Amino acid sequence: MKTLFERLITKTAGAMLKSVGSQPQNSEEEEQHNLEFLNEQIILYPEVRPKDSKDLILKELSIKLDRCMERHKLYLDPKINLGRVANIVGSNRTYISNIMTEKNGFRNYLNELRLRHMAQKLRKEQIRVKKRNDHIKTVARQYPKADEDITILLSEPEDKIPPVRLTALITSCGFIDMRAFRRALFQSKSDYAEEIKGYIY
Q: Name the pLDDT band for 165 (thresholds 50, 70, 90).
A: confident
- Write down the pLDDT at residue 40: 41
Question: Does the pLDDT of residue 12 top 90, yes or no?
Answer: no
pLDDT tens sequence across 103-161? 999 999 999 999 999 999 988 877 776 666 666 666 555 555 555 544 444 444 456 67
Share of the chain above pLDDT 90, in %: 41
- Write down the pLDDT at residue 135: 66
CB 61 within 8 A of CB 99: yes
Distance (Å, whole) CA 176 – CA 170: 8
CB 66 within 8 A of CB 110: no
Amino acid at 18: K
Mean pLDDT of the residues in the chain: 75
Mean pLDDT, residues 42-51: 42
- Write down the pLDDT at residue 26: 53
Going by C-alpha positions, the residue among 100, 102, 124, 112 that lies closest to residue 75 is 112
The SS3 of residue 176 is coil
- Comparing 25 with 98, the larger pLDDT belongs to 98
